[in-house]
Chain A
Amino acid sequence: MELDVDIEKRHGAFRFSAAFSLESQRCGVFGPSGSGKSTLMHLLSGLLTPDRGRISLAGRVLYDSAAGINLPPEQRRIGVVFQHAHLFPHMNVRRNLLYGWRRTEAADRRIAPEALIGVLNLHHLLDRGVNRLSGGERQRVALGRTVLACPRLILMDEPLTGLDEELKFQIIPYLKKALDEFDIPLLFISHSLREMRLMTDEALVFRDGAMQERMSTENLARSGMATVGGGYANMLNLGAPRKVNDLWSYPWGENELVLTEGGDGGDNLFELDARDIVLFKNHPEATSARNLLSCTVAGTFGFNNRVGVELDCGGMRLVAQIVPESVRELGIGPGTAIVAAIKASSFRRLSSMAVC
């Protein structure tokens, strides 16, 4: 995506301003509620007109106050997936899905409805009325409807908020698969760091109506360590488990991880709090922690009295959070060999990443 934005908008006492230029395929817009995330979505899609500025997408000017250009939403070809699906209640699933497709010029129709319906697993729902769908199904139809309009960019405004945790992690693989398969750039709006990390590589941080900074999603997650009560969660995508006595063993790079929780045959997504990793200088003789990983320190980063230690465990990365005093005592620096101990019960299963 080549999105260039430099806009301002005043709405009562609320002032919004943003200037950025994006090239990454999946970008996030992160910030607390009221920070201007949804305003950005409305301004980009043309549902709201900026006071001043310029927006261009892939070389096409969508809005330019100086030149008097302001394309209406239907000509911008920017797809929007709203927080609540907002399906058309008087149409069945099929007509909802094809609404945008039918309004797309034949030359621009690069996505086949059949293929997308397969990816989103909607075949059995096509003739159903949208009022008889579950929350997750509704969101899948809304996504399909937007993708089938073959947009040049998709904006997602908190598409997972309001869905329960279980459902969220069931939808994410669909989202990613649909966008990857049809090569559509994404601007993902969310206040959830975890969703942001699963969906995007880069994030724009908004606060009080203005864009504050721009950083990789990984760095955004690491900076969470500086906030009160915040920490860093490692996201581990593990393969199919094997039952070992009454625990489960998952392959992870060159290592095996022992967990208390079982998983599916496909990929399994787990979260591991950086504070739950204990570091030892030498290999401990005996410990209740089931996972002892020999790693080398790749680097450290610090915020106040918290230090994040980035570990290289046989090619895989892991971040442990310790205090500065431990860093001094253990003599931790880049290249230090160290042993990480993790309890089998520290891993929190997010959900199966397998498309079900």
Chain B
Amino acid sequence: MIALTPNDIDAIWLSIKVACGATLITTPLGFAAAYFLAFSRLPAKSLIEGLINLPLVLPPVVVGYLLLLLFGQSGFLGPLLQSVDLRIIFTLSGAVLASAVVGFPLMVRAIRIGLEGIDRNCLQASRTLGAGWWDTLLTITLPLSGRAVLAGMTLMFARSLGEFGATIILAGNIPGVTQTIPLAIYDYTNTPGGDRMALNLCLVSIVLSFTVLMLSEAVARSMKRN
């Protein structure tokens, strides 16, 4: 039987919180970005596309470091957020932000594929039938891209569960505050005799990821049926 320490339980809860937070925050933004990339004909599109995809090709540590520079005490946004009493670095918000930025390109990519698969003429048809832009978005575009949005959310959630590099730089490795499962495993592997504890958390990680995948598949199937 797996014996988990209170610290491990904290790490599991933190992981779930970070993954949920990152997924919820990025879903509307990811949809907007994907919509822009799928439908816009602006010349600046490829530049914006490159920017969005950057975290996908950069090492997460680099992303974390850049975020640290941006949100740190002497960074560009740090003092600004401090004035509204929001601290990013070495906090749970930091862990959420790091995961969100790293997973964002994956989510956008998944949603964009779904949006590009929609027949444009269906969107035009709804406009000529009297539906405005928002009406069309809510009744045609969103339902038709629902499965892609779900796939994007699943990718985001899974990526957040596994996020390590950017998180450790931006949010640190503080047990009970920012120590998620991967960071806790990292700590155990650096401790003599911690192998067994690390393996326990690995198992939890596998079960968690597997559950998310199964859930997402089940929802996707029921969406397809309707």
Interface set of A (CB-CB < 8 Å, partner B): 45-47, 72-74, 76-80, 82, 84, 86-90, 99-100, 103-104, 145-146, 149
Please determine whether A103 and B128 come into contact, CB atoms closer than 8 angstroms. no
Chain B: number of interface residues, binned into ranges: 10 to 19
Contact A74 B124 (CB under 8 A): no
- Can you report 22 A-B residue pairs in the complex whose CB atoms are below 8 A from each other? A45-B128, A46-B128, A73-B127, A74-B127, A74-B128, A76-B128, A77-B130, A79-B128, A80-B124, A80-B128, A82-B125, A84-B121, A86-B122, A88-B122, A88-B125, A90-B143, A99-B129, A103-B129, A145-B125, A146-B128, A149-B128, A149-B130
8 more contacts with CB within 8 A, not counting A74-B127, A87-B122, A90-B226, are A73-B128, A74-B129, A74-B131, A82-B121, A99-B126, A99-B129, A100-B130, A145-B129
Q: How far, in whole Å, are A80 and B133 apart by their CA atoms in the complex?
A: 17
Number of A-B contacts (CB under 8 A): 66
In the complex, chain A residues whose CB is within 8 Å of the CB of B128: 45-47, 73-74, 76, 78-80, 146, 149
Task: Check if B127 sits within 8 Å of A86, measured CB to CB.
Answer: no
Q: Give chain A residues whose Cβ lies under 8 Å from the Cβ of B143.
A: 90
- Out of A74, A77, A84, A87, name the residue touching B132 (CB < 8 Å): A74
Q: How far is the CA of A74 from the CA of B124 in the complex (A)?
A: 10
Instruction: Give min CB distance, B152 to chain A, whole Å.
Output: 18
CB B41 to nearest CB in A, in angstroms, measures 13
Interface centre among A46, A90, A146 (most CB of B within 10 A): A90
- Complex Cα distance, B122 from A45, in Å, reads 14
Residue of B nearest to A77 (CB): B130
Q: A78-B128, A100-B130, A149-B129 given as contacts; is B140 within 8 A of A88 (CB)? A: yes
Residues of B125-166 at the interface with A, using a CB-CB cut-off of 8 Å, are: 125-133, 135, 139-140, 143-144
* Chain A CB within 8 A of B85 CB: no
Residues of B within 8 A of A78 (CB): 128
> 6 closest Cβ contacts across the A-B interface?
A100-B129, A103-B130, A73-B127, A86-B121, A80-B128, A86-B125
Q: How far is the CA of A88 from the CA of B122 in the complex (A)?
A: 6
Cross-interface CB contact of B127 among A72, A82, A88, cutoff 8 Å: A72
Chain A residues with CB below 8 A from B129, complex form: 74, 79, 99-100, 103, 145-146, 149
Residue of A nearest to B144 (CB): A90
Chain B residues, Cβ within 8 Å of A90: 143-144, 226
Partner of B124, one of A47, A76, A100, A104: A47
Note all chain B residues with C-beta closer than 8 A to A145: 125, 129
Q: Which residues of B in the span 95-134 have a Cβ within 8 Å of any Cβ on A?
A: 119, 121-122, 124-133
Residue among B125, B126, B132 with most chain A CB within 10 A: B125
Q: Which of B119, B121, B135 contacts A103 (CB 8 A)?
A: B135
Supposing A47-B127, A88-B140, A90-B143 touch, asked if A72 and B132 sit within 8 A by C-beta, the answer is yes
CA gap between A146 and B129 in the complex, in Å: 7
Tell me if A74 and B130 are in contact (CB < 8 A).
yes
A100 CA / B135 CA spacing, docked (Å): 12
| A103 engages B131 (CB within 8 Å) | yes
- Min CB distance B109 to A, Å, is 23
B125: A residues at CB distance < 8 A: 80, 82, 86, 88, 145
Q: Which residues of A contact B133 (CB under 8 A)?
A: 72
Q: In the bound complex, what is the Cα–Cα distance between A146 and B130 (angstroms)? A: 10
List, in ascending order, chain B residues with CB within 8 A of A99's CB: 126, 129, 131, 139
Docked Cα-Cα span, A188 to B144, in Å, equals 30
- Shortest Cβ distance from A268 into chain B, in angstroms? 34
In the complex, what distance in Å separates the CA atom of A146 from the CA atom of B131? 12
Q: Is the CB of A88 within 8 A of B130?
A: no
Task: Check if A88 sits within 8 Å of B126, measured CB to CB.
Answer: yes
Measured CA separation A238–B109 after assembly (Å)? 60
Residues in chain B near residue A86, CB distance under 8 A = 119, 121-122, 124-125
Report Cα–Cα, A103/B127, bound state, in Å: 10
CA distance A72 to B139 in the complex (A): 18
* Shortest CB distance B119–A (Å): 6
Q: How far is the CB of A60 from chain B (nearest CB, A)?
A: 15
Distance between A74 CB and nearest chain B CB, rounded to angstroms: 5
Q: How far is the CB of A137 from chain B (nearest CB, A)?
A: 17
Kindly list chain A residues whose C-beta atoms are within 8 Å of the C-beta of B119.
Answer: 86, 89
